[in-house]
Amino acid sequence: MKKGLTLSDILVTVLVSVIFAVIYNLWWVVTKTIEPLGLQLDQLMYGMWFAAAVVAYLIIPKMGIALLAEFAAGAGETIMMGRFDIPTIIYALLQGLACEVIFALFRYRSRAFMVAVMAGVAAAVVSLPIDWYYGYLSEVAQWNLILLIAFRIISGAVLAGIFPYYLVKALDQTGVTKLFRPASKDDYDAL
């Protein structure tokens, strides 16, 4: 496999990002529907906004793919919203970087379940200081803040770690990803 990004790597990453930009926009309906229930239950849905980076990396495990995917998905989300939203771009950039750090720790060689989960958790953790900066967390009661943080981290692990892992594993079994990363028996055993 070539080390650098190829044009097909970039195109597939952008395609994944466009799909997730659509999902991200639709996901607002899900979170806004759950939000009135209180107790920060909407945070259990938050991890979906980190998933593009992990899905793209699991399809094409190369340096820069997670950052490109999350940034492009965030930019696509703002375009679909009909306005340029700087905070969304900042979130996307930092969440993609958080995932890149996790993948770099494993030298971009592991597509293991726990690596995907760790990337989802890292994206969740990096989103919290951004929320604090934009004023979303400073007025939340301590017990409620603990719930928010716990639920967001759980959501990052599940929706941005476990879900992408099994999604890409299913895509691998259909043969869709063979063009980018031929799957052998050793690849499946490594999963």
Crossing angle of helices 86-105 and 65-81, rounded to 10°: 160
Domain membership of residue 191 (yes or no) is: no
- 168 membership: H or E segment, kind and range: helix 163-174
Residue 131 covered by a domain: yes
Least confident of 39-43, 92-96, 131-135: 131-135
Q: Is 107 among the domain residues?
A: yes
Q: Is residue 187 a part of any domain in this protein?
A: no
Are 50 and 123 in contact, with CB atoms under 8 Å apart? Answer: yes
Domain membership of residue 182 (yes or no) is no
- Please report whether residue 83 resides in a domain: yes
Residue 118 phi/psi, 5-degree rounding, is -60, -40
In this structure, is residue 2 part of a structural domain?
Answer: no
Please give the distance of CA 102 from its chain centroid, rounded to a whole number. 12
pLDDT at 187 over 70: no
CA angle 84, 55, 57 (to 5 degrees): 100
Say which CATH number the domain at 89 has: 1.10.1760
pLDDT at 65 over 80: yes
CA atoms within 13 A on the CB side of 50: 37
Domain contains 123: yes
- Mapped onto helix, strand or coil, the DSSP state of residue 91 is helix
How many whole angstroms from its chain centre is CA 113? 14
pLDDT at 122 over 60: yes
The predicted model gives 46-56 an average pLDDT of: 96
| Distance, CA of 121 to CA of 107 (rounded, Å) | 18
Domain total in the chain: 1
Looking up tokens 């239950």, which residue turns up? 41
Torsion of CA 129, 131, 132, 135, to 10 degrees: 160
Domain limits for position 164: 7-177
